[in-house]
Amino acid sequence: MHNYKKEFIEFIVRVDAIQFGNFTLKNGRKSPYFFNSSKFNTGILIDELGLYYASAIEENAQDCNLIFGPAYKGIPLCISSASALSKKLKHDIGYFFNRKEKKNYGDHGILVGQNPLAKDVVVMVDDVITDGRTKIELIDLIKELCEVEVKGVVVALDRMEKNSHGVDAINEFQQITGIPVWPIITIREIYDYLRYSEFDRSPTLEKSTYEKIENYLSNYCVQS
């Protein structure tokens, strides 16, 4: 496992973004863990979060020069990721995001930030992929408006969960679009690291909690 992935696990533990207990998900499943992206709610935390996105982009899309964030959660992500990647690579990385509401004054544009060009290598950043439909619509819109293609998507966490068709959302998205998805971390990597590694502020979880997570992964998640 890359160092930035280990550091990301320790980061989400430290800020309580990965939580353990009994949670009801949007699809009705009862989950023993929950990823709470609202915990990245200060300038310092969003700056640090951007570092991990930048590391994932640098690993998987070295020629990326423009980062897109879908409104609304993707807006701070694309800004912090572009800032962090610019510093890492020592040259400017652009960013842009979309408006959800149509603007009836000024430039009337639906995209905000650097104007994408056909030559740009664009990477989308977001917190998770649920069903991927909104992202597919935005990818098609960007291609239509700017004649530019999104080369990949970086998300914070891959829950690795199977849908009603027996495939996980990321695999289905990749099959439909042909666009790779690069998670900073997967739930399996989190589980393995927390169970078999020790670090400062490592959570003390009951054996029964690990058993519940393992049982959930066995029942609902694709096998890596």
CATH number for 161: 3.40.50.2020
CB 153 within 8 A of CB 124: yes
Q: Label the pairing between strands 111-113 and 66-69.
A: unpaired
Q: How many domains does the chain have?
A: 1
Residue % of the chain over a pLDDT of 70: 96
pLDDT band at 137 (very low <50, low <70, confident <90, very high): very high
pLDDT band at 101 (very low <50, low <70, confident <90, very high): confident
Distances (CA, A) of 145 to 58, 83, 118, 133, 149: 26, 25, 10, 18, 11
The tokens for 38 are 């609202």
In this predicted structure, the answer to whether residue 133 has a pLDDT above a threshold of 90 is no
Tell me the residue range of the domain where 15 lies.
3-220
100 sits in which H/E element: none
pLDDT band at 107 (very low <50, low <70, confident <90, very high): low
Average pLDDT over residues 13-18: 96
